[in-house]
Amino acid sequence: MNDELPSPILETPRLILRPPIQDDFDGFAAMAAEESTMRFLGGTAARHAAWRGMATIAGSWTLLGFSMFSVIEKASGRWLGRIGPWQPGGDDGGWPGREVGWGLLAGAQGKGYAFEGAVAVLDWVFDELEWNAVIHCIDRANVRSVRLAERLGSYRQRENVRLPAPFDALVDVYGQTRDEWLERRPRPTPG
């Protein structure tokens, strides 16, 4: 097995964000089984389906040059979840736009990790990928994600957008432009 970590690697005060590796699979599978976490992320999934999900994310790194990062807690080395750019199928895949999304294990929620990681990822997509805008596809009932999007400076741009199959969910689309991000970029504080 290759011990070299894939790149890019982003660091925040408490987190390491990097493309997923095989050792992350138990974390992916644990998160996929958490009903409260997966309620707004397509529902719970068995280990074999979690494997396909992780493989899709890893494959997107190769095919598109970006995808979700694994979120690793620096202090413990523990896998906490995934945060990153997401656009299934690229520009021609029917996704409503270039998204930055997030999902964390239940035990990692409410500690500021999603905000801290999302700030680093937004900096990366605007600076390195040179995106002009970003969206977040959020189920209206997912109040915590709506609050996070708004804390990041995003605002509701479209309502009741149907995601393409196999996702087939109705979401509101939050977002902002690169210029808006640069003008009012929030500064994360741990906790």
Contact predicate 117/102, CB 8 Å: yes
**Residue 56 confidence (pLDDT) above 60:** yes
**Residue 47 confidence (pLDDT) above 80:** yes
Tell me the C-alpha distance between 154 and 13, whole Å. 23
Contact predicate 18/58, CB 8 Å: no
Query: Is the bond preceding residue 96 a cis peptide, omega within 30 degrees?
Result: no
Predicted structure pTM score: 0.92
Tell me the C-alpha distance between 158 and 23, whole Å. 38
Give residue 2's pLDDT band: very low, low, confident or very high (50, 70, 90): very low
**Residue 32 confidence (pLDDT) above 90:** yes
- Segment 167-187, tens digit of pLDDT: 888 999 999 999 999 998 876
Tell me the C-alpha distance between 85 and 87, whole Å. 7
**CATH tag, 10-184:** 3.40.630.30
